[in-house]
Structure 1
């Protein structure tokens, strides 16, 4: 009887522990401090797995916004065309990390991922940014972007239909560079005070969901 009582007690404690861990994992993400930003990005091995491609090469992390307004002044499309644009984010963000990975690591890449995380001062400001972006992206669906730089055409860009939820935007697009066509996905998502700005591309004909998949993995790594 004593052994049975001890066994039942241990089972009860294990069940309680499992329930507690499950509740913690499923709870809403907490606001992210700057010190935790670096650890939210996927590792190279994780990127290889999610992209289904071996040998993805990571470039040096970026901590400042890009500025391509001179190439595309249309703000409705700028934020969908490129991640982390200063004209889109303005001065509302407080810290960011962006890493580009591709394979092979040259201009004729087959697989590419740009993953970035951006901290805002509050959850409300991050949500406001997503809502503003949703309004802009909705005006850039099924849209062509054709840009010439120094007399040379940049890869052509053609967007598809926008999918929106309360916390995430996803937009498929096609990238054509000469005889090379890539199927791509953009994802912009918010959780607590964090915005995730992701682009994923694979060879033509691929069903690309990897940008949204990366969002899910980053969210899962957020503090709770």
Structure 2
């Protein structure tokens, strides 16, 4: 039978406890009033064979033998629920230790602690103690630094394109006009099919042309034409439109491709080929630097009538605008920038 003494501190070594039947063979155990028979006064020294645990303890005077310290009997002893008895599960008697060694050892430990403290204070904060056993010591893994950047906005859905266009009041304000409004056929969901004799410059010449977007992978478009109500003569016209792509990367790729084409079209004169109007247009300038691409085209023989074409990207949307008037300025670029401000950046 193997157990731990109930009064021992946690972690004390186990001791062997004999079977409960041993109490029948040793009636004096558990009876503090019982004393073994005294030998004659001058009897020879004999071992004390009934010591706890079966120890042999020779003594010259049995009367001077120390009485074992009584300890509480465990609840597992039959018939002795509360009688103090020197049970065999009590911890063994401690050996006598020379206190001089304890004092000397304490001094050595104290000195070692002071030295360790001085060494620790002198070491830089950047150093770390080497592991005692690298093969068994787990390696600490640095936790990843928390990210503080804002989450990337989701692509703009095609259903939200119409709400990105400016209202007529904002267009009138930029153009310095009054009475400009959306004209027939209203808001369109398709690109214009005009073609020119030099298709490589279609994007630099006009806005929202299907010829310029072929093969780009665009998804959808929403666009409008705004001008004054006079059908014969008007002083201002604006084409404003937005074209969505599957991702912001694809939209930017399209704008980068157009920037390379626009730079090669400066000074080119071109004509429409699928229209009754065969007037010639000349691309007088193209600026492909900055956030907004711009080009200016003037109509021959129209007293300075021309259009500034502007194209920029925000998230997965390409903003495509053309503002036309006599001697146009940067109105197209201004309208494109205002539309871009309504789109969350990628």
TM-score normalised to structure 1 length: 0.77
1:126 aligns to 2:251 (yes or no): yes
- The structure-2 alpha-carbon separation of the partners of 1:179 and 1:209, relative to structure 1 and needing over 3 Å to count, comes to closer
1:141-171 CA-to-partner distances (Å, cap 9, x unmatched) read 1121234667x54333111221123542101
Give 1 or 2 for the bigger CA radius of gyration.
Answer: 2
Q: Who is 1:76 aligned against? A: 200
1:47 aligns to 2:167 (yes or no): no
Shift of 1:136: 1.5
1:215 aligns to 2:336 (yes or no): yes
CA contact 2:205–2:295 (8 Å) conserved in 1: no
CA contact 1:29–1:219 (8 Å) conserved in 2: no
Q: Who is 1:98 aligned against? A: 223
CA contact 2:168–2:181 (8 Å) conserved in 1: yes
1:161 aligns to 2:250 (yes or no): no
Shift of 1:44: 0.6
TM-score normalised to structure 2 length: 0.51
**Distance (whole Å) between structure 1 residues aligned to residue 229 and residue 175 of structure 2:** 13
1:31 aligns to 2:152 (yes or no): no
Q: Who is 1:13 aligned against? A: none
**Distance (whole Å) between structure 1 residues aligned to residue 256 and residue 239 of structure 2:** 22
- The structure-2 alpha-carbon separation of the partners of 1:50 and 1:172, relative to structure 1 and needing over 3 Å to count, comes to same
CA contact 1:31–1:192 (8 Å) conserved in 2: yes
Q: Who is 2:263 aligned against? A: 138
1:115 aligns to 2:236 (yes or no): no
1:109-156 CA-to-partner distances (Å, cap 9, x unmatched) read 211100000000011110111111112112211121234667x54333
Shift of 1:51: 0.7
- Segments of structure 2 that go 5 or more residues without pairing to the other structure are 1-149
Secondary structure of 2:304's counterpart equals strand
1:171 aligns to 2:295 (yes or no): yes
CA contact 1:104–1:111 (8 Å) conserved in 2: no
Shift of 1:105: 3.7
- Segments of structure 1 that go 5 or more residues without pairing to the other structure are 1-23
**Distance (whole Å) between structure 2 residues aligned to residue 219 and residue 29 of structure 1:** 14
CA contact 2:194–2:274 (8 Å) conserved in 1: no
**Distance (whole Å) between structure 2 residues aligned to residue 78 and residue 166 of structure 1:** 21
**Distance (whole Å) between structure 1 residues aligned to residue 260 and residue 281 of structure 2:** 20
Structure with the higher fraction of residues in helix conformation: 1
CA contact 1:97–1:117 (8 Å) conserved in 2: yes
Shift of 1:188: 1.0
**Distance (whole Å) between structure 2 residues aligned to residue 114 and residue 190 of structure 1:** 17
Q: Who is 1:186 aligned against? A: 309
Shift of 1:29: 7.1
- The structure-2 alpha-carbon separation of the partners of 1:55 and 1:29, relative to structure 1 and needing over 3 Å to count, comes to farther
Greater relative CO (CA pairs within 8 A, separation 6+):
1
Alignment coverage as a number of residue pairs = 193
